[in-house]
Amino acid sequence: SQTIHQWPATLVQPVGSPLSLECTVEGTSNPNLYWYRQAAGRGLQLLFYSVGIGQISSEVPQNLSASRPQDRQFILSSKKLLLSDSGFYLCAWSGMDTNYGYTFGSGTRLTVV
């Protein structure tokens, strides 16, 4: 069966520090991968999605970047965190046929102080 792993679960980082959040999927190949952010009291905002290795689409201009160095690995990064980067970050995957929905990871709570 397919599983998605996301870590760390919580992270507290100072303003201006770098960020790296990792997401991996097991049990499937060539998944579509997604990074979402939830700010406090707000809905889901799609940040990036990827349909293949090295293929990244950005949905919103921001201080973050994403990379997909391997088929089932998706990384969210920042060179210098801002206070506004605080939030709950969720990784998700879908098959090539996205009509069956997404499967989400357990999320990372990022607090920038």
> For another protein, which is the closer residue by CB, 18 or 47?
47
Regarding 42 and contact with another protein (CB under 8 A), the answer is: yes
Binding test (CB under 8 A) with another protein, winner from 13, 28, 56, 107? 107
Regarding 7 and contact with another protein (CB under 8 A), the answer is: no
Binding test (CB under 8 A) with another protein, winner from 21, 90, 110, 112? 90
Cis before residue 8, ω within 30 degrees of 0? yes
Regarding 104 and contact with another protein (CB under 8 A), the answer is: yes
Q: How far is the CB of 25 from another protein (least distance, A)?
A: 13
Q: Give the CA angle between residues 107, 110, 111 to the nearest 5°.
A: 150
Q: How far is the CB of 71 from another protein (least distance, A)?
A: 17
In 19-106 the beta strands, taken as DSSP E runs, fall at: 19-26, 32-38, 44-52, 55-58, 65-70, 73-78, 87-94, 103-104
* Token pair recorded at residue 26: 């097991």
